């Protein structure tokens, strides 16, 4: 039993890891608003180390720059919560690891930080891989902080699943 993740989400993660094993794909994460929840979910599953490479939790802009190579100017121009930053986070994680595919998440989970241009629940998720162009999607999740973060985890897993 896992207090944080539903049985449905755990099953979905197990299926993703099994698919990665079958295809010989290793995964890494670059997380901001989810704060490592994707990595936590994947490592909750026994045996995930043969597929999960590790993750980067880059909550601050300074760590996005230092650990993932996100451009300082891009952060100043677009802000941390943007499609462009999500894509750079995913690419940076991919090339700073031994993984074949990476997923990144950046967004506004609240309860503070929202603006008229970037409302509560706005989340960008990107997937970079060694075998396809980098893809990104914009989401608008509802509910409180936990629901927004768990919704982002679910969609990140779905995006990885589709990309492999």
The 10s digit of each residue's pLDDT in 110-136 is 999 999 999 999 999 999 999 899 999
Residue 22 has pLDDT above 80, yes or no: yes
Number of domains, the chain: 1
Mean pLDDT on 18-36: 98
Residue 91 domain-assigned (yes or no) = yes
Domain that holds residue 12: 7-163
How many C-beta neighbours within 10 Å does residue 23 have?
12
The 10s digit of each residue's pLDDT in 56-114 is 999 999 999 999 999 999 999 999 999 999 999 999 999 999 999 999 999 999 999 99
Contact 132, 89 (CB under 8 A): no
Residue 2 domain-assigned (yes or no) = no
Name the percent of the chain lying above pLDDT 90.
97
User: Any idea what the CATH number is for the domain that residue 95 is in?
Assistant: 3.90.950.20
Residue 18 domain-assigned (yes or no) = yes
Residue 1 domain-assigned (yes or no) = no
């Amino acid at each position: 039993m896992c207090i944080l993740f539903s049985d449905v989400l755990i099953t979905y993660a197990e299926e993703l890891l099994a698919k990665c094993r079958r295809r010989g794909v290793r995964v890494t994460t670059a997380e901001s608003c989810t704060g490592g929840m994707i990595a936590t979910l994947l490592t909750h599953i026994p045996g995930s180390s043969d597929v999960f490479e590790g993750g980067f939790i880059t909550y601050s802009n300074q760590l996005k720059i230092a650990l993932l190579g996100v451009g300082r100017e891009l952060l100043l121009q677009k802000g941390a919560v943007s499609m462009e930053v999500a894509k750079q986070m995913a690419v940076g994680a991919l090339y700073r690891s031994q993984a074949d595919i990476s997923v990144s998440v950046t967004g506004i989970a609240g309860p503070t930080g929202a603006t008229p241009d970037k409302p509560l629940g706005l989340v960008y998720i990107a997937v970079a891989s060694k075998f396809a162009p980098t893809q990104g999607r914009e989401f608008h999740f509802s509910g409180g902080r936990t629901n927004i973060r768990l919704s982002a985890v679910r969609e990140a897993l779905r995006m990885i699943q589709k990309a492999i």
